[in-house]
Structure 1
Amino acid sequence: MALEHDYFGLIEEQPGGGLYWSESVEVGDQYVDLSMSVPRGEGVSDEDLDIAAALLQALEGLDLRAREDMLSAVDDRESDVSVFVVQAVEEYGDGIEDLFVDHSGDLDVDLIRSLVLTRVAVHPSASSDTEAFVDLEFALDPDSSDLALLVSLSRSVTPVSITIVE
C-alpha cells in the first residue's frame, strides 16, 4: 500500500513490508541524507507524516537543538558525548583543531560546533516521548572516520538518547 503526502510525495511500500522514503538535501554548504521509515505492521497517520515533514523542513533548528543537547551532556564525563570527544582527540591528535570551524578555546564546545550533520532519519510511527521520532547523525570528519554521534529526539523534540556510532 502506497501513501501520498504533500511533502514526501508518493511513499511506496517496501518489498518486505513497511514504508520508506529518502532524499538528499542541501543544508548550508553541505548535503544531508534524509529518510523516513515506518516498519511493517505499524500504522502512520497523516498527522504523524505532517509532524515528520515539519521537522525535516526545520532542519537548522533541529540541528541546533541536537547540538544544545550534546553540550548539556558534556558535563557528564560518563556520557557518550564525553567518550566521543576523548575518542576523537585520540584519533586526530594535535590535528583535531584543524577540523574546527570555530576556535573558542573550549575543546568540547569547538568540537560540537564543528560536527557535520550527515543523516536525519524520521520514524513517524514512534508515538511516546520515550521513543526516537527523529535521529540526527553527526560526525567530525565523515570522509575519513566512521566515528559519529547519534542524537535521538522524541515527537516533542525532547532528548531520548545520545549514543556513539562506530
Structure 2
Amino acid sequence: MTIEHDFFGILGSDDEGEVYWSEAVELGNESVDIDLNSPDEASVSVEALDIAAAMIHSIEDLDSQAKESLVADLSADGSQTLQYITQVLGELDDEALANALIWDSGDRQIDFLRSLRLQRVGFHPHHTKGDEHFAVLDYSISPDDTDALLVVVMDVNGDTVAISVES
C-alpha cells in the first residue's frame, strides 16, 4: 500500500513498511531540514499529512510559536530553556557567543532565544492523539560550536507539550 499526497508525493511501499520523506526549506536566510516519518504507513492519515504540510508551509509561524513557548518556559520551575542557556553559556567562548547572538536588546536571555537557529523539524504523522509528539523542533544557538540542542515538542494542534535539552 502506498499513500499519495499533493505535497509529499508518493509515500510508503507495497509491503506497508516505513513512511519517510525529507527536504530542506528556507527560514529567513537559513536552511532547515524537514523530515516526516512513521514506522507504519497504515497508521498515517491523509488529514495528518495535510496538517504537517500546512505546518511546513507556515514554518515561520511554527518557529515563532515554539520560541514563544521557550520564553514562557523561562519562568517555570526546572526550566529546560534556562538549563540550555546556562549549559551553552558555559560551553561557548566569548567570540563564539558574540557571533551567535544576533540580537542585542539588553535582555540577554531573550536575545539568546531570539538568536536560536531552527536546525530540524521532524514530523510524526502517526502521533495524532492528545499530547503525542507530532512535530519535534531542534534548536541550536551555534551548531558549529556546540552539540547541545533545545528541543520543542508540539502536538497535532501546534501546542507545545514538552521542552527538553539534548546533547
- The normalised TM-score by structure 1 is 0.92
Contact 2:88 2:146 in 1 (8 A): no
CA contact 2:37–2:125 (8 Å) conserved in 1: yes
Q: Distance in 1 between matches of 2:104 and 2:133?
A: 32
Instruction: Give the Cα separation in 2 of the matches to 1:99 and 1:144.
Output: 9
Shift of 1:41: 6.6
Paired residues of 1:100 and 1:114 also in contact (CA < 8 A): yes
How far apart in 1 are the matches of 2:164 and 2:118?
15
CA distance, structure 2, for counterparts of residue 14 and residue 86 of structure 1? 48
Percent identity of the aligned residues? 34
* Partner Cα distance (1:71, 1:14) in 2: 45
Q: Which consecutive residues of structure 1, in runs of 5 or more, have no partner in the other structure?
A: none
Question: Superposition RMSD on alpha carbons, in Å?
Answer: 1.9
1:5-154 correspondence runs (5 A): 5-13=5-13, 17-40=17-40, 43-76=43-76, 78-95=78-95, 96-154=97-155
Q: TM-score, normalised by structure 2?
A: 0.92
Which runs of at least 4 in structure 1 moved beyond 6 Å after TM superposition? none
Contact 1:137-1:150 within 8 A present in 2 as well: yes
Question: Structure 2 regions of 5+ residues with no counterpart?
Answer: none
How far has the Cα of 1:13 moved from its partner? Answer: 3.7
Alpha-carbon spacing, 1:40–1:101, altered in 2? closer, same or farther (3 Å): same
